[in-house]
A and B are shown apart, each in its own frame.
Chain A
Amino acid sequence: MPLRIAVVGLQGDVQEHISATRSALSASDIDGEAFQARSRRDLEDADAAIIPGGESTTISKLLHRSGMDGDIERMASEGRPILGTCAGCVLLASAGDEQVRRTGTELLDLMDMEVSRNAFGSQRESFETDLHIDGIGMFRGVFIRAPLITRVWGRCSPMGHLGDSVVLARQNNLLAASFHPELSGDLRLHSLFLGMIKE
């Protein structure tokens, strides 16, 4: 059976994730497809899901209104891999900072980590830099109004740092990146994620 990877397609850079996933599938010679999931039905038989970058406040509202939040939680509990980048990273967390609380953003509460939304400031402060990722090595990090993972505990472990802050964390079948691997043209993080489906 070909793998089916759903990119949660309510708002954000959905196409970029679909392209990166398709390239990673073909580079790793895996039979599979990536597609945009716009409703609950689209998530039913997905082997994995990606929550893209975008605005976490908007995506959280649309996830809730569409009922897709419950499906993602079920996928996570069934062990199906989920990758969240930037806004997706915020939504996978179980705790957020004052900005997350004030905006009433409903976190999916799946990973043992706390995030700070928009941790570097406005778009002027967005940046690119080289990161070291455990098991991958140097990786181009594209941070756009990015969050930071300010605290991890329990089953969640950090995999990538910027200074002494965590920018990539994994908890079993869940992977959260505060940057945008789908924009840097480097497929290794998507390949690592595809590898999690087979585990």
Chain B
Amino acid sequence: MAKEIVLEKLRHGTELLKRGFASMQKGGVVMDVTDAAQAMIAEEAGAVAVMALERVPADIRAQGGVARMADPVKILEIIDAVSIPVMAKARIGHFAEAQILEVLGVDMIDESEVLTPADPHYHIDKSKFTVPFVCGARDLGEALRRIYEGAAMIRTKGEAGTGNVIEAVRHQHAIMGAIRALMGRSEQELFQVARDIQAPNELVVEVAKLQRLPVVNFAAGGIATPADASLMMQMGVDGVFVGSGIFKSSDPERMASAIVEAVRGFDDPKVLAEVSKGLGDAMPGINIDTIPKEMQLQNRGW
């Protein structure tokens, strides 16, 4: 790097840079990884970023207990292994974990319901950070509350660690349906909607005009196959997160490449048929109605 560029004098952490970073991920697949070897497989397969974790959601779900931010050693090992962006998860409301992740140099923080929430009242004030955040949402109100707090990217919550896409589909329908329902509404009506869904009025007005969220919107939570990824893309998401779906499958290299290819050719059934051939076993998966409500990760956060 050139000597005379003084980084301190440049403007860092602006809203444009945070949302711009999220835009660069569009059309991509972000993959959960737990070590350097997995991170390199993800990069080689064409992932746009990796999510550095100690355990994938399926294992967090199976093992129980309090799930926290990953060990910094683990995160640094993964940052050193790849050149694509590295994301990591902080607990809902745990701004100290987020401060640690920022200083470690992660490129984006996921304030995630997959970890055990740390604050019963507040999510992290994301506007205070230089690093951008992604947050989960089940509906439009939740998405706009997170954007108001400074989230640069929204993802569906889905139901992580299940390999079952139904909840991600439910959340994407809810968000898109609520956005479509804003079309043609008067100012007064929009104000009423904002009150009903507990979202800031100015964001509701902006969404009504844009007819989409003002930030990038990914799918997450239960995506396990190329067909799942295509389904979500055809429902209008900008990209996908795949958690347990890759490294809990029987052939992670092939599954990872196949999902990348499925996101690129999401609306071409011929491509999807080709990449779906002979992938081996997808992750086993869980039916949502067998999970008691209090054990469902999506109900964490508000």
Contacts and interface: CB of A to CB of B under 8 A. Distances in A.
Interface string B34-50: 00000000011011110
B260 interface: yes
Contact of A54 (B16, B27, B260): B27
Given A117-B83, A142-B17, A144-B24, A62 B264 contact: yes
B207 to A, nearest CB: 17
B5 A163 contact: yes
Interface string B206-246: 00000000000000000000000000000000000000000
A136 B16 CA distance: 22
A103 B83 contact: yes
A119 B8 CA distance: 16
Q: Which of B23, B82, B260, B261 has the most CB of A within 10 A?
A: B23
Chain B at the A interface: mostly helix, strand, loop or mixed? loop
Contact of A119 (B1, B16, B260): B1
Contact of A125 (B7, B24, B49): B7
A126 interface: yes
A25 interface: no
Interface centre among A65, A99, A124 (most CB of B within 10 A): A124
B4 A125 contact: no
Nearest to B108: A123
Interface residues of B, number: 44
B49 A13 contact: no
Contacts of A102: 83
Interface stretch (B61-69, B99-107, B171-179, B277-285): B99-107
B84 interface: yes
Contacts of A148: 1-2
B148 interface: no
A118 B28 CA distance: 18
Interface string B81-116: 011111000000000000000100111100000000
Given A103-B43, A144-B24, A11 B7 contact: no
Contacts of B200: none
A9 B238 CA distance: 12
A9 B215 CA distance: 19
A122 B20 contact: no
Contacts of B20: 13, 126, 142, 144, 180, 183
A55 interface: yes
Contacts of A61: 46, 260
Contacts of B47: 58
Contacts, number: 137
A128 B43 contact: no
Contacts of B82: 103
Nearest to B5: A163
Interface string A52-86: 01110110011001100000000000000000001
A126 B7 CA distance: 9
A11 B5 contact: no
Interface in B184-222: none
B260 A58 contact: yes
B130 interface: yes
Nearest to A15: B26
A38 B271 CA distance: 13
Contacts of B83: 57, 99, 102-103, 117-118
Interface of B: 1-5, 7, 10-14, 16-17, 20-21, 23-28, 43-44, 46-49, 79, 82-86, 102, 105-108, 130-132, 260-261, 264
Given A103-B43, A124-B13, A165-B2, 18 more contacts: A11-B27, A13-B24, A14-B27, A55-B48, A55-B85, A58-B46, A58-B48, A62-B264, A65-B261, A87-B24, A118-B83, A123-B21, A123-B108, A124-B102, A124-B131, A164-B2, A165-B5, A183-B16
Interface of A: 9-16, 38, 53-55, 57-58, 61-62, 65-66, 86-87, 99, 102-104, 116-129, 142, 144-145, 148, 162-165, 180, 183-184
